[in-house]
Structure 1
Amino acid sequence: MAIINCPFCNKKASDKSAVCGNCGGKLGEMSVEELDRLQRDKRLALGQSLNNHAMMSLIIFLGSFAWYYYREPETDSLEMYAIHGAMLVGCAWYLVTKVRLVLYKRK
């Protein structure tokens, strides 16, 4: 008997039980290969999601720079604060996502 991660809810469950105690997912009907495939597919989906987040944050970050240089807003205007906010959010989101990608690739 081994403890595995449920492929449906990602919580701990026994590989011998018929259903997951947390979500009710039917583990007994799945073979070990199917369980491994589901876990691998979830891991690949997480990697793709992290890559999408990195791309979106980079677009926000670079878009705010383009907005700043093409629009040339006045100092201390609402537009300037919005640009700086977008730069900050885009940069922070990108850095956090890149750290998450590094940790994802270590596993």
Structure 2
Amino acid sequence: MGLFDFIFGTQKRLVEDYLKNGALILDVRTQREWDAGHIEDSIHIPLNELNEGVEEIKKLNKPVITCCASGVRSAKAAKFLNLNNIEAINGGGWVNLKKKL
């Protein structure tokens, strides 16, 4: 097993564990990006609106897997959610995340 297999295999198992625990998928891309395609049953809150939506996410009382186009914005979103006492991980780019589902 190579380093990349180890890293990405671990990420896949983490996503699977979160999903087993009822995690929701939060897409933080722009409306235009969301409209072009997204993961079915995911929630859409653009990163620049996440501050206003954090209480709504807390009320759902579920772990969160964030996603965006490449993983940069979703990493920021996961960190923000963690700082607000919401269990969250970065799922990376939505297309790759969809393949893991």
| Same fold, TM-score > 0.5, yes or no | no
Structure that is richer in helix per residue = 1
Question: Counting strand residues as a fraction of each chain, which structure ranks higher?
Answer: 2
TM-score normalised according to structure 1 size: 0.28
Larger RCO: 1 or 2 (CA < 8 Å, sep 6+): 2
Q: Which one has the largest radius of gyration?
A: 1
